[in-house]
A and B are shown apart, each in its own frame.
Chain A
Amino acid sequence: MLRRTVEELSTGSDSDYSNSWISWFLSSKGNEYFCEVEEDYILDRFNLTGLNTEVANYSQALDLITDNLDDEIQDELRGSLDVQARLLYGLIHARWIVTARGLAKMLEKYKKADFGRCPRVLCQSQPLLPVGLTDIPYEKSVKLYCARCEDIYSPKSSRHGSIDGAYFGTSFPHLLFLVYPHLIPPKSGPPDVSAASGSTSTSGGREEGGKRVAGRRAREEVDVGVAEGVGEGASTAAAAMKADRYRPKIFGFHVHEIAKLQRWQEAVRDKQVVKLEEIDV
């Protein structure tokens, strides 16, 4: 508990060596997308099933992240072990963020827009969520998913552009909106700031209450925090009809081939809306 309070105050990177590997990792530059994996989760070996085949020096890497590594080993392997520890933490992270408590933690970061905002002008700075294009490490870097235009973008900064997408996984953002359907952003209008401000106040209270208890309760509390937010309880079948789109024009006139494509796209959209309204989502 003491460790955690210290970690929240610290902002530097090297000074955190004294705390724990995880807090050092989370506070180093470029790792802003990661959330803290609770120690209980890492210590439960069931959650790590199969990872020993993915990570070389698995047990030392695990010891390093949980701060149980002997000092004499540390000097010899240090360099390579650090890489393995990052990989291991990343792969655990991908599993953690699709658990109920992990989703809640990432939700806090989403509301603070820690993952950046959608570069598409008509998404009006909708906060993004990290997503991988594959669950296998070392294949594709992390991308950012916008729940408004339902598309993926590359991170602006190369610091984030080089993070492995497998550390977030392909499922995470979609599972988040499956679990929290009321957070699905509307397709037009500014992003909901009331939801964001509501959440900061509840999260503030939760930090003091102790993480262990809060973790279990996280889901209910989050629900309360955003209840006044989006509030789109009804069907999303026709949601796309409200989406804004950009229409290229030359001296005020539509551009023929693009306008034709856009009409076709909207006809595809209308077809889906009709279909969904028939089955009434």
Chain B
Amino acid sequence: MPSSSASSTPTSTLTWISWFCSLPGHEYFCEVQEDFIEDDFNLTGLNSLVPFWKEAMEMVLDVEPDEDSSKIPDVSIVEASAELLYGLVHQRYIITRQGLQAMADKYEGGIFGSCPRVYCQGCYVVPCGRSDLPGLDTVKLYCPNCHDIYVPPSSRFQALPGAFFGTTFAHLFFQSYRELAPAPFYKPPTATSPGRSPHSNGSESVSSHDEPFVNPNPYGGQKRAAGKVYVPRIYGFRVSERAKSGPRMFWLRLRPENHEELDMVDWRGRWIDEVDDDDDFDEDDDEDDRPMEDFDPVSK
């Protein structure tokens, strides 16, 4: 996996880090500042994970190797170590203030791509690992709107270790940039307004949602969510939940209409007040299906 990309060596004008981040398939990486790597405190524990530690450090920091480095049998081994070292440092760097900012710049440029789910309406995603240790899983993409993870669309990224981004980054990122995090509730547009997608896509947001979006929870996501849920239909009729093939998974994407509804479930996941009846979410379905936006704003 990573060693394949490092077959050529950087030119003299470019640092190893800039060169590494510019390789095809490395678009998700941001450039870690050299002084972050030079601070040993930031590297605590990594030397047990990376073979040829000293040589790898020299390569990453563009330090001229000592003369005794000739005992390394093959430079490609050091290259692999350098990539591993850089990836693991990257995992730590991107949860620092500067690292988060560097990733935010990439995020807003859409470098990580958008959610493949149709009703997330092209919400940008961030890279996300499923493990903090290397060698277990490849990088995934986390969508803050549906809170789910996806396989990167291009095979270029499907070999990238997830540990180079870590399990925490994606969520700390949206905790730090609350204006980028969609809120956990969604009120469908009212019947009088034309069907509207509730966010970003430029021209779409003008007509119905003039008023600024406010999440009553000041610590919550401050972006209007894309809350539509797909409703399967046959010849225009909703597939009944009584059918064996009926809808079973709509809850996975469902949002309550307002913030207060979230408090109707206690910390154990039970309804606090059982009086409200069962069809409150059926109404959501009716509302959800109405809006239609421009021909295909989402597909890549």
User: Given the complex, which residues of A lie within 8 Å of B230, measured CB to CB?
Assistant: 145, 150-152
Whether A152 contacts B300 by the Cβ 8 Å rule is: no
Whether A240 contacts B248 by the Cβ 8 Å rule is: yes
User: Given the complex, which residues of B lie within 8 Å of A263, measured CB to CB?
Assistant: 265, 267, 269
Chain A 113-153 interface residues, beta-carbon cutoff 8 Å to B: 119-122, 133-134, 138-141, 143, 145, 148-153
Chain A 50-95 interface residues, beta-carbon cutoff 8 Å to B: none
Whether B175 contacts A255 by the Cβ 8 Å rule is: yes
- B110–chain A nearest beta-carbon distance, Å: 15
Whether B233 contacts A269 by the Cβ 8 Å rule is: no
User: A262 in the interface, Cβ–Cβ < 8 Å?
Assistant: yes
User: A281 in the interface, Cβ–Cβ < 8 Å?
Assistant: yes
The number of chain B residues touching the other chain, given as a range, is: 35 or more
Chain A, residue nearest B184 (CB) = A261
Chain A, residue nearest B148 (CB) = A246
User: Given the complex, which residues of A lie within 8 Å of B234, measured CB to CB?
Assistant: 170-171, 174-175, 178
Whether B271 contacts A150 by the Cβ 8 Å rule is: no
User: Given the complex, which residues of B lie within 8 Å of A257, measured CB to CB?
Assistant: 184, 217, 219-221
Whether B251 contacts A251 by the Cβ 8 Å rule is: no
User: A249 in the interface, Cβ–Cβ < 8 Å?
Assistant: yes
Whether A264 contacts B262 by the Cβ 8 Å rule is: yes
Consensus secondary structure, chain B interface: loop
User: B106 in the interface, Cβ–Cβ < 8 Å?
Assistant: no
Whether A178 contacts B243 by the Cβ 8 Å rule is: yes
Q: Mark B245-257, 1 if CB is under 8 A from A, else 0.
A: 1111111111110
- A111–chain B nearest beta-carbon distance, Å: 17
User: B102 in the interface, Cβ–Cβ < 8 Å?
Assistant: no
Whether A266 contacts B251 by the Cβ 8 Å rule is: yes
User: Given the complex, which residues of B lie within 8 Å of A272, measured CB to CB?
Assistant: 241, 248, 251
Whether B244 contacts A236 by the Cβ 8 Å rule is: yes
Whether B149 contacts A152 by the Cβ 8 Å rule is: no
**Can you identify 16 A-B contacts, CB atoms within 8 angstroms?**
A119-B116, A133-B118, A141-B295, A150-B230, A154-B300, A158-B299, A174-B245, A184-B245, A240-B248, A243-B249, A261-B147, A264-B265, A267-B271, A268-B281, A269-B251, A270-B269
Given A158-B300, A240-B248, A268-B251, 18 further pairs, Cβ under 8 A: A119-B150, A134-B292, A145-B230, A149-B252, A150-B249, A153-B117, A154-B300, A156-B153, A173-B232, A181-B245, A184-B245, A256-B219, A257-B219, A261-B147, A262-B147, A266-B269, A267-B270, A279-B242
* Residues of B near any A CB (own CB < 8 A): 116-119, 130, 140, 142, 147-151, 153, 167-168, 170-172, 175, 184, 217, 219-221, 230, 232-236, 239, 241-256, 261-262, 264-265, 267, 269-271, 278, 281, 292, 295-296, 298-300
